[in-house]
A and B are shown apart, each in its own frame.
Chain A
């Protein structure tokens, strides 16, 4: 009997059309686990309330990062796991994919984590996440009315984010 390999057991859903938003949802966390932004464009199942959902997501990513770093077969030294790393250094996971969605992740050296959930045929979103981080810097960090560490409430940021996410293939 063979359980693994072979054809897909359940086919993935069709690729969404270009007119709708291609992404399902997005989270932005800061270094301390505060959820700065949660945007939802296309999500059918809501199992937990918002608080628990955010905590679950943050915990998941923290564990995934430390798991991937610990299981790295190529790295000789033991990295410092609590601290965000410069991009390119150390071992950092950047996405996982199931048959129904793909989750892409990016962490900046300042500890800002950006998570984007899209359809499973999406390519590598690292450049897109970097662009989103630039949007964050322009419209949130440089907003005189924003206090760091608090949830993001900026119309300019939301609009430009929605516009950009619509163009992600």
Chain B
């Protein structure tokens, strides 16, 4: 439907959003930058879910809506589905993507990891801390999509195992 944009353009745009908000608009205030980026994601998710649910009937319960996010929504955005969905049946869902497209090229300095001579988990942690800014946008997208479907929630991400990324959705009672 409609026109297309090259994926490289979108990737570069997202990289630049994070970089600009972090280094120019809210330099030294990473909390504010994170909130702003997440808010942009919220708007985007809101509109995207509107577009992708146009011909569908209303979702019967929370699980159906989350499954929509995992399958159709994720396929439209990232050309693949969520690899693993877990829930505690009390309002918390964990969506795991084993190779999250927007984080698949993040890579850090190999020499730093060698001189550390620690176990690989320490190296993974430092990589995760650098990449945290880049997950606020997709978290916002999920939150916006779900709230447009009538499900207010809070979304956070766990990137201790790049390029796999787990999104934790907590539905507000």
A contact residues vs B (CB 8 Å cutoff): 138-139, 142-145, 153-158
Contact = CB atoms under 8 A, between A and B. Distances in A.
Looking at chain B's contact residues, the main secondary structure is: helix
B50 interface: no
Nearest to B11: A142
Q: Which of B105, B108, B112 has the most CB of A within 10 A?
A: B105
Given A144-B18, A144-B134, A145-B130, A155 B11 contact: no
Contacts of A139: 105, 107
B108 A145 contact: yes
A6 B131 CA distance: 61
A83 to B, nearest CB: 24
A143 B11 CA distance: 9
Given A142-B12, A144-B134, A153-B109, 13 more contacts: A139-B107, A142-B11, A142-B105, A143-B106, A144-B131, A145-B130, A153-B110, A153-B112, A154-B109, A154-B110, A155-B107, A155-B109, A156-B107
Contacts of B134: 144
Interface residues of B, number: 21
A58 B56 CA distance: 61
A157 B103 CA distance: 15
Nearest to A156: B107
Interface of B: 8, 11-12, 14-15, 18-19, 102-103, 105-113, 130-131, 134
B40 to A, nearest CB: 16
B1 to A, nearest CB: 26
A11 B14 CA distance: 55
Contact of B8 (A142, A144, A155): A142
15 contacts: A139-B107, A142-B15, A143-B105, A143-B107, A144-B14, A144-B19, A144-B102, A144-B103, A144-B106, A145-B107, A145-B131, A153-B108, A154-B109, A155-B113, A156-B105
Contacts of B15: 142, 144
Given A139-B105, A142-B105, A144-B134, A153 B111 contact: yes
A120 to B, nearest CB: 30
B105 A144 contact: yes
Contacts of A153: 108-112
A139 B107 CA distance: 8
Contacts of A143: 105-107
A25 B167 CA distance: 42
Contacts of B8: 142
A143 B103 CA distance: 8
Nearest to B109: A153
Q: Which of B106, B108, B111, B131 has the most CB of A within 10 A?
A: B106
B132 to A, nearest CB: 11
A132 to B, nearest CB: 16
A52 B110 CA distance: 24
Contacts of B109: 153-155
